[in-house]
Chain A
Amino acid sequence: MGKKIVVRIMVLLFLSAMMLTVSCAKKSVATDPSTGIENQGAQDGLSAEEIARQKALEEERLREEALRKAIAAEREQFENQDIYFDFDSAELVPDARMLLKEKADFLTRNSGLTVTIEGHCDERGTTEYNLALGERRAMSAKRYLQDLGIAEFRLNTISYGEERPAVQGNDESAWSRNRRGHFVIR
Chain B
Amino acid sequence: MILMTQNSGVKLMAAFNSCKFFLLCGVLLVMEFSPAFVMAQHAYININSPLIRKIPVAIPFFKAFTGHEEEVALGKNAVDIMSSALDFTGYLAVMDRGAFIENPSQKGITGSEINYKNWTIIGSELLITGGIVEQDGAVRLELRLFDPFKETLLIGKVYTGHKADIKSMIYRFCAEISLLLTGKLGVFGSRIAFVSTVSGNKEIFTCDFDGGNISRITNFNNITMSPSWSSDGNFLAFTSYAKGNPDLYIRDLRANKDVVVSKKGLNITPAWLPGQFALAATLSFSGDQDIYLLTGSGEVKRQLTKEMGIDISPAFSPDGTKFAFVSKRSGTPQIYIGDTGSGSASRLTFKGSYNTSPAWSPDGDKIAYVGVVKNSINIYVIGANGGEPTQLTSGQGDNEDPSWSPDGNLIAFSSTRQGASRIFVMTSTGSDQRLLFTFGGAQTDPTWSLAYGNK
The distance in angstroms between the C-alpha atoms of A118 and B246, with both chains bound, is 12
Q: Are the CB atoms of A124 and B377 closer together than 8 Å?
A: yes
Say whether B269 faces chain A, with CB atoms less than 8 Å apart: yes
Say whether B142 faces chain A, with CB atoms less than 8 Å apart: no
Q: Are the CB atoms of B444 and A127 closer together than 8 Å?
A: yes
Residues on B with beta carbons closer than 8 Å to the beta carbon of A159? 246, 266
Q: Are the CB atoms of A128 and B310 closer together than 8 Å?
A: no
Q: Which B residues between 352 and 389 are near A, CB-CB below 8 angstroms?
A: 353-354, 356-357, 370, 372, 375, 377
Say whether A126 faces chain B, with CB atoms less than 8 Å apart: yes
Q: Are the CB atoms of A136 and B310 closer together than 8 Å?
A: yes
CB distance from B315 to the nearest CB of A (A): 11
Q: Are the CB atoms of B357 and A135 closer together than 8 Å?
A: no
Residues on A with beta carbons closer than 8 Å to the beta carbon of B284? 132, 135
Say whether A145 faces chain B, with CB atoms less than 8 Å apart: no
CB distance from A144 to the nearest CB of B (A): 15
Residues on B with beta carbons closer than 8 Å to the beta carbon of A128? 225-226, 268-269, 312-313, 326, 356-357
Given contacts A88-B333, A88-B354, A124-B375, contact A129 B326 (CB under 8 A): yes
Say whether A58 faces chain B, with CB atoms less than 8 Å apart: no
The distance in angstroms between the C-alpha atoms of A133 and B313, with both chains bound, is 13
The distance in angstroms between the C-alpha atoms of A95 and B144, with both chains bound, is 72
Q: Looking at the complex, which one of A88, A124, A132 makes contact with B266 (CB distance below 8 Å)?
A: A132
Residues on A with beta carbons closer than 8 Å to the beta carbon of B289? 132, 135-136
The distance in angstroms between the C-alpha atoms of A125 and B246, with both chains bound, is 19
Q: Looking at the complex, which one of A88, A133, A139, A158 makes contact with B287 (CB distance below 8 Å)?
A: A139
Q: Are the CB atoms of A132 and B282 closer together than 8 Å?
A: yes
Say whether A60 faces chain B, with CB atoms less than 8 Å apart: no
Residues on A with beta carbons closer than 8 Å to the beta carbon of B372? 124-125
Say whether A174 faces chain B, with CB atoms less than 8 Å apart: no
Q: Which A residues between 104 and 140 are near B, CB-CB below 8 angstroms?
A: 124-129, 131-133, 135-136, 139
Say whether A86 faces chain B, with CB atoms less than 8 Å apart: no
Q: Looking at the complex, which one of B223, B312, B354 makes contact with A132 (CB distance below 8 Å)?
A: B312
Say whether A32 faces chain B, with CB atoms less than 8 Å apart: no
The distance in angstroms between the C-alpha atoms of A88 and B445, with both chains bound, is 21
The distance in angstroms between the C-alpha atoms of A180 and B310, with both chains bound, is 18
Q: Are the CB atoms of A158 and B245 closer together than 8 Å?
A: yes
Say whether B63 faces chain A, with CB atoms less than 8 Å apart: no
Q: Which A residues between 47 and 93 are near B, CB-CB below 8 angstroms?
A: 88
- What is the 8 Å Cβ interface bit string for chain A, positions 135-151, against chain B (1 contact, 0 not)? 11001000000000000
CB distance from B288 to the nearest CB of A (A): 9
Total contacts A-B at CB 8 Å: 69
Q: Looking at the complex, which one of A129, A136, A163 makes contact with B313 (CB distance below 8 Å)?
A: A129
| Number of A interface residues in the complex (CB < 8 A) | 18
Residues on B with beta carbons closer than 8 Å to the beta carbon of A135? 265-266, 284, 289
CB distance from B419 to the nearest CB of A (A): 12
Q: Are the CB atoms of A163 and B375 closer together than 8 Å?
A: no
Residues on B with beta carbons closer than 8 Å to the beta carbon of A163? 202, 223
Q: Which B residues between 172 and 225 are near A, CB-CB below 8 angstroms?
A: 202, 223, 225
Residues on A with beta carbons closer than 8 Å to the beta carbon of B357? 126, 128-129
Q: Looking at the complex, which one of B282, B287, B445 makes contact with A127 (CB distance below 8 Å)?
A: B445
CB distance from B285 to the nearest CB of A (A): 11
CB distance from B258 to the nearest CB of A (A): 20
Say whether B400 faces chain A, with CB atoms less than 8 Å apart: yes
Say whether B390 faces chain A, with CB atoms less than 8 Å apart: no
Q: Are the CB atoms of A127 and B312 closer together than 8 Å?
A: no
Closest to A134 in B: B266
The distance in angstroms between the C-alpha atoms of A128 and B310, with both chains bound, is 11
Q: Which A residues between 159 and 179 are near B, CB-CB below 8 angstroms?
A: 159-160, 163
Q: Which B residues between 293 and 317 are near A, CB-CB below 8 angstroms?
A: 310, 312-313
Say whether B332 faces chain A, with CB atoms less than 8 Å apart: yes
The distance in angstroms between the C-alpha atoms of A160 and B201, with both chains bound, is 14
Residues on B with beta carbons closer than 8 Å to the beta carbon of A160? 223
The distance in angstroms between the C-alpha atoms of A162 and B326, with both chains bound, is 17
Given contacts A88-B333, A133-B310, A163-B202, contact A125 B356 (CB under 8 A): yes
Given contacts A158-B245, A159-B266, contact A129 B377 (CB under 8 A): no
Q: Are the CB atoms of A127 and B333 closer together than 8 Å?
A: no
The distance in angstroms between the C-alpha atoms of A61 and B202, with both chains bound, is 49
Residues on A with beta carbons closer than 8 Å to the beta carbon of B354? 88, 125
The distance in angstroms between the C-alpha atoms of A88 and B444, with both chains bound, is 21
The distance in angstroms between the C-alpha atoms of A135 and B288, with both chains bound, is 10
CB distance from A179 to the nearest CB of B (A): 14
The distance in angstroms between the C-alpha atoms of A133 and B327, with both chains bound, is 11
- What is the 8 Å Cβ interface bit string for chain B, positions 381-407, against chain A (1 contact, 0 not)? 000000000000000000011000000
The distance in angstroms between the C-alpha atoms of A3 and B185, with both chains bound, is 52
Given contacts A88-B354, A158-B245, contact A131 B445 (CB under 8 A): no
Q: Are the CB atoms of B332 and A127 closer together than 8 Å?
A: no
Residues on A with beta carbons closer than 8 Å to the beta carbon of B269? 128, 131
Q: Looking at the complex, which one of A88, A124, A126, A157 makes contact with B332 (CB distance below 8 Å)?
A: A88
Cβ contacts A to B, 28 pairs, < 8 Å: A88-B333, A88-B353, A124-B377, A126-B356, A126-B357, A126-B401, A128-B225, A128-B226, A128-B268, A128-B312, A128-B356, A129-B312, A129-B313, A129-B326, A129-B333, A129-B357, A131-B246, A131-B266, A131-B268, A131-B312, A132-B268, A132-B312, A135-B265, A139-B287, A158-B244, A158-B245, A159-B246, A160-B223
Q: Which 4 A-B pairs have the closest CB atoms?
A: A132-B310, A126-B356, A129-B356, A132-B312
Starting from the known contacts A124-B375, A131-B269, A160-B223, 9 additional A-B residue pairs (CB-CB under 8 Å) come to A125-B333, A125-B377, A126-B370, A131-B239, A131-B268, A132-B268, A132-B312, A157-B265, A159-B246
